[in-house]
Structure 1
Amino acid sequence: MKSITLIGYMCAGKTIIGKALAKSLGRTFYDLDWYIEERFRKKVPEIFAESGEEKFRDLENRMLHEVAEFENIVLSCGGGTPCFFDNMDYLNSLTETCYLKASPETLCSHIAMSRGERPLLKGKNPEELKTFVTEQLALRTPFYEKAHHVIDINVLDSFDKVNYIVDVIRNKMLP
């Protein structure tokens, strides 16, 4: 059975849904950012700050090509991963891809609740954040929409709905 890759903007719910999906399918879950952090013994924001975005994206690409070769996993990618190099085409060739689609309002709400440091969002007030997310989403959507499946996660307003999204994904992907 093909591996499943979840893509979408930061804080769309890729990790929480990915973990639940992997558990429900009896598969191993990998978060690409966590994989990078484990391999290089540094947090992604540290790597980003020390090396810059270009070098980080190159490293991310190399690690993606490593992890995507694993069999029968659920993989969660960083929000920008599908938008660089040949990453989206590569993922589509090896895995079942699923875009977790959300509105800028939903994403901003999730970002406000998240605990992680987000280098691209540092120092932005709520209005600047919404503008930034809206603009980035417009640039990234053409890459995201290349996914085999698109799942609307705007309904993901509570942890109870994670299982609902997992069921939607399973029903779309599995016969």
Structure 2
Amino acid sequence: MRIILIGYMASGKSLIGRELARVLDFEFLDLDDFIEENEKMPISEIFSEKGEIVFRKIENNYLKEVLSSKNKMVLSLGGGTPCFSNNLKVILEDKNAKSFFLNVPVSELAKRLMADKENRPLVNYVSNEEDMLEFVGKHIFERLSFYNQANFKIEANKPKEEVVEDIISKLF
């Protein structure tokens, strides 16, 4: 079984994914980390040096590789992964996978991103919480139609242990 976590930046995909993998005794893999490790450069550098189109092709290839080669895994995707190439189709057609959209209110995402914006190239230029709220609101609106196609939608604005319990209750 493969458990795939999707959602916007700062929705807790990696945090929840690590805990879920620990509880289930599954391998945890963050697709962004996997890409950086294999490409030997940060994603922000891939974007700036090769462009988003090349990055999205690389991302699609690694997603397919990971899904075809690993089982008993919790996979955390980048916020944009389901929205590009045929990634969502690849995810939804994987008979051994269940996808979960970690839903967090826009106001909470904006707060989390303001606190961590220096590590988030997409939003590091945003100067205040009001502008962050506007950016996230518009951006997530564009992505919701993809996120909402996940097998399950989990309200993820609560302690990680509760989110993990909610995910497990949908699996078994």
Q: Same fold (TM over 0.5)?
A: yes
Task: State the match for 1:158 in structure 2.
Answer: none
What is the aligned counterpart of 2:157 among 144, 151, 154? 154
Asked if 2 retains the 8 angstrom alpha-carbon contact of 1:48 and 1:119, the reply is no
Instruction: Name the SS for the 1:96 alignment partner.
Output: strand
Task: State the match for 2:17 in structure 1.
Answer: 18
Asked if 2 retains the 8 angstrom alpha-carbon contact of 1:98 and 1:151, the reply is yes
RMSD (Å) for aligned C-alpha atoms: 1.3
Displacement of 1:48 after TM fit? 1.3
> Aligned partners of 2:137 and 2:37: how far apart in 1?
31
Q: Tell me if 1:106 matches 2:108.
A: yes
Question: For residue 150 of structure 1, what is the amino acid of its counterpart?
Answer: K
> Aligned partners of 2:55 and 2:118: how far apart in 1?
18
* 1:2-151 aligned within 5 A: 2-69=1-68, 70-94=70-94, 95-114=97-116, 117-126=119-128, 127-151=130-154
Gaps of 5+ in 2: none
Asked if 2 retains the 8 angstrom alpha-carbon contact of 1:103 and 1:154, the reply is yes
Asked if 2 retains the 8 angstrom alpha-carbon contact of 1:45 and 1:117, the reply is no
Asked if 1 retains the 8 angstrom alpha-carbon contact of 2:3 and 2:74, the reply is yes
Asked if 1 retains the 8 angstrom alpha-carbon contact of 2:46 and 2:55, the reply is yes
Number of equivalences:
168
Task: State the match for 2:165 in structure 1.
Answer: 167
* Sequence identity (%): 36
Displacement of 1:116 after TM fit? 5.8
Asked if 1 retains the 8 angstrom alpha-carbon contact of 2:107 and 2:133, the reply is yes
**Which TM-score applies when normalising by structure 2?**
0.93
Displacement of 1:128 after TM fit? 2.2
Instruction: Name the SS for the 1:146 alignment partner.
Output: coil
> Aligned partners of 1:6 and 1:135: how far apart in 2?
21
Pair 77,116 (structure 1): closer, same or farther in 2 beyond 3 Å: farther
Q: Deviations over 1:18-76 (max 9, x none)?
A: 00000100000000000001101111111111112111111111111111221110000
Displacement of 1:169 after TM fit? 0.6
Consecutive aligned runs of 4 or more in structure 1 exceeding 4 Å deviation: none
Question: For residue 126 of structure 2, what is the amino acid of its counterpart?
Answer: K
